[in-house]
A and B are shown apart, each in its own frame.
Chain A
């Protein structure tokens, strides 16, 4: 089946530093990947839609300069949290849809838990 990986699975950083999270589709190509954020005991909130070869589309209220998204290839999207602060601590999850138009399922990565001290 379609597999999406994320790296790292867990990261702890100091306030003010930047953290990069990778999302890879391992056995399929994805034109579009999505980045979600999940606070403890809450649902997933879409942050942005990452499109290969073009700029990401951010949801209302998400700072594009703080959450930098790069979709460099059909199998890799990265989310960089710049100048991280404790309030950015959260569980970040990516998802991807296979390129084939007949496919309507998003496959989710295992998530990255970010803790900012």
Chain B
């Protein structure tokens, strides 16, 4: 079975500050890892994904994440927060291409001016 743990259900950052969202996973097979963002009353938008290859993955809106197998982590970062980054962020793990995803509990990001 796969599982995802997101540390911190809420994160508050100042505009311009570093955003760090933590995600740890467990998987019996090499994982496919994803970060999605959800704005209120909307579906999920893919930020970035890791499948194979380079462990540092760059996504949209200035976000990036690093896959660390030894730490079973896939933390999401953005160097400088923008007000528009306020949203809910979900880390997810899958077993293969097009396979069902297991989601973490989500982290709500609040950006203070």
Interface of A with B (CB < 8 Å)? 4, 6, 31-32, 34, 42-46, 49, 91, 93, 95, 97-98, 101-111, 113
Interface of B with A (CB < 8 Å)? 32, 34, 36, 41-46, 49, 51, 90, 94, 96-98, 100-106
Whether B42 contacts A97 by the Cβ 8 Å rule is no
Contacts of A109 in B (CB 8 A): 43
Bound: A6/B41 CA distance, A: 13
Bound: A34/B43 CA distance, A: 13
Whether B104 contacts A43 by the Cβ 8 Å rule is yes
Return A62 CB to nearest CB of chain B, in Å.
Answer: 13
Contacts of B41 in A (CB 8 A): 91, 111, 113
Whether A44 contacts B103 by the Cβ 8 Å rule is yes
Whether B105 contacts A43 by the Cβ 8 Å rule is yes
Return A111 CB to nearest CB of chain B, in Å.
Answer: 5
- 23 CB-based A-B contacts, threshold 8 Å: A34-B100, A34-B101, A42-B105, A43-B103, A43-B106, A44-B44, A91-B41, A93-B44, A95-B44, A97-B97, A103-B97, A104-B94, A104-B97, A104-B98, A105-B34, A106-B34, A106-B94, A106-B98, A107-B46, A108-B36, A108-B45, A111-B41, A113-B41
Bound: A31/B97 CA distance, A: 12
- Please name the residue on chain A nearest to B102 by beta carbon: A46
